[in-house]
Homo-oligomer: A and B are copies of this chain.
Amino acid sequence: MPLHGLSLIAGALGRHSDNTFRAVDPASNAKLDPEFHEATELEANQAIHLAAGAAAAYRARSGADRAKFLEAIATEIEALGDALLKRAHEETRLPLPRLTSERGRTCAQLRLFAAVAREGSWVDARIDPALPDRQPQPRPDLRRMLIPVGPVVVFGSSNFPLAFSVAGGDTASALAAGCPVVVKAHRAHPGTAELVGGAIVRAAAACGLPPGVFSLIHGGGATVGIAMVKHPETAAVGFTGSQAAGRALMEAAAARPHPIPVFAEMSSLNPLFVLPGALKERGAAIASGLFASFTLGVGQFCTKPGLVFAVRGADTDAFAEKLAEAVRHAPCAIMLTAGIREAFHSNRDAITAIDGVSVLAASQPVEDIEDLGQAARPIVATTTARNFLANPELATEAFGPFTLLVTADNPAELVACAAALEGQLTATVHGTNAELAAARPLLSALETIAGRVVLNGFPTGVEVCPAMNHGGPFPATSDVRFTSVGTAAILRFARPVCYQGFDDSLLPEALKHANPLGLLRLVDGKPTRDKA
């Protein structure tokens, strides 16, 4: 079935527009068919208004119904078959095996949130039954649970065209929470977006849901996006992208007459500290692992290690040489978009132009690829910890296959570097058992700046599970209290409501005396699945 190039507004096709654009094959810069029609602000507003109109009906659906919807989306995505992978490959040039596994992750994520919604205890039900005889005052019956916040606007990322785009983690967690979703499609993969959007529309129809529960907007960049954040019926925003764009959304949301939360996952350098004993014991293996991690997906992972800290010495020299050797022989690879490649080169050049920074190694340029498409070559640079501490610009994210090796005079300087870092999604330490046991100050500094601390591993590869935290202090994210990956991501789109003095017949199922959903609830402060 050919692509239509239109927005999907509450189950209906959007209008044709004079403002059109095409996807670009980043390998050749060729424009791909068809033309995509930018939605007007009016259409975007209409989508949000219809989402608000669907909110009460969707909220009233049971967790089991929401689960069926999420599972139906996964099934519909799988039913798109190779056509989806082929289009995503043409739009991103991410390798087919990667896209196949990303599709698997996307569907697994949808099914994981389905399981969370079906089990239902995530609503954190708390019950303090009435104490009519208490002195001096009786206690009324108080029952509290989380309910959905309302319509959520999702801005998908370019680097995960499936797992963090139209039916990605933000959409899955918002729908699981009971919120309608309006997705602003990423312009880098509009065809992929249309295919996945269509899958969601079909799933909603099959589940008998009001069509306003999902819309997909092809928009003309910032204007329509900001309008969607400012719409009075928008209740929350999920975003994955650059710090500048995320901050703009945060500011728009904060300046609304009624401010709303924005969950923006923005930028992270993912510092990696290699302690001397680990370097001596397995420096070569760490260098190989680091190389694989920082070049994975052409360095376009939000968890890419972009800073590596080690104490100067012979083992570090050997480690650096091993890393340089891998980089020299690395192939060029195609980045997702011209804009990303341009930003990568600009940030890379700005960092390597700073006094005291030298390029350790770069892979050979392949002129014909660089000319024709968005190819970039892996590169590693180096500087001293003293220089790093004196130049905050060295802690700029160069989103792409670049990492900076920072060499310290001694282990204490490593801690100083850690303490100087801004908020990060992850921080990693490699050390022997004895070193790590003695590294409390470093570990303590890292847990205050990062959302996830990794020992003797690499930060790329974000497991989707209850214990994952993909978050961190600003500027890694806009709200350090929440994760965008893993089951806890659902908590972003819910709010507590307390029901006081309700007859059992009027209570939501989750709070009824008989506990018909079998939830784990906090009754008089004690967790139980008993009646209450």
Contact = CB atoms under 8 A, between A and B. Distances in A.
Given A498-B468, A527-B121, A488 B126 contact: yes
A525 B490 CA distance: 14
A451 B496 contact: yes
Nearest to A441: B56
Given A453-B498, A453-B499, A475 B142 contact: no
A342 interface: no
A525 B487 contact: yes
A359 interface: no
A125 B481 CA distance: 14
A41 B89 CA distance: 57
Interface string A450-474: 1111111100010101111101011
Interface in A145-184: 147, 149-150
Contacts of A463: 128, 139-140, 142
B506 A436 contact: yes
B467 A143 contact: yes
A497 B128 CA distance: 30
Chain A interface main SS type: mixed
Interface string A469-513: 101011100111111000110010011111111110110000000
Given A455-B502, A465-B128, A496 B483 contact: yes
Interface residues of A, number: 81
A261 interface: yes
Given A142-B468, A481-B261, A520 B527 contact: yes
A34 interface: no
A522 interface: yes
A263 to B, nearest CB: 11
A142 B467 contact: yes
A281 to B, nearest CB: 15
B455 A142 contact: no
A114 to B, nearest CB: 13
B525 A496 contact: no
B467 A126 contact: yes
A448 interface: yes
Contact of A469 (B137, B474, B498, B520): B498
A335 to B, nearest CB: 24
A479 B454 CA distance: 31
Given A128-B463, A144-B468, A520-B527, A457 B501 contact: yes
Given A463-B140, A478-B259, A506 B451 contact: no
Nearest to A481: B495
Interface string A232-270: 000000000000000000110010001111000000000
A85 to B, nearest CB: 17
Nearest to A466: B126
A251 B488 CA distance: 28
A452 B144 CA distance: 8
Given A254-B250, A466-B128, A466-B522, A497 B259 contact: no
A483 B142 CA distance: 14
B259 A506 contact: no
B483 A452 contact: no
Given A454-B500, A468-B142, A500-B455, A258 B422 contact: yes
A450 B258 contact: no
A474 B147 contact: no
Contacts of A503: 433, 436, 455
A49 B447 CA distance: 19
Contact of A444 (B56, B140, B457, B522): B56
Contacts of A505: 437
A457 B433 CA distance: 60
B436 A474 contact: no
Nearest to A453: B499
Given A128-B463, A452-B499, A457-B500, 15 more contacts: A121-B527, A126-B466, A126-B488, A128-B465, A140-B454, A144-B467, A144-B469, A261-B481, A443-B506, A451-B497, A453-B499, A467-B498, A471-B495, A481-B495, A481-B496
25 contacts: A121-B527, A139-B463, A139-B465, A142-B465, A142-B467, A147-B447, A149-B481, A258-B423, A259-B474, A260-B474, A436-B503, A443-B506, A450-B497, A453-B497, A453-B502, A455-B499, A466-B524, A467-B498, A467-B522, A468-B498, A469-B498, A471-B495, A481-B494, A482-B496, A527-B527
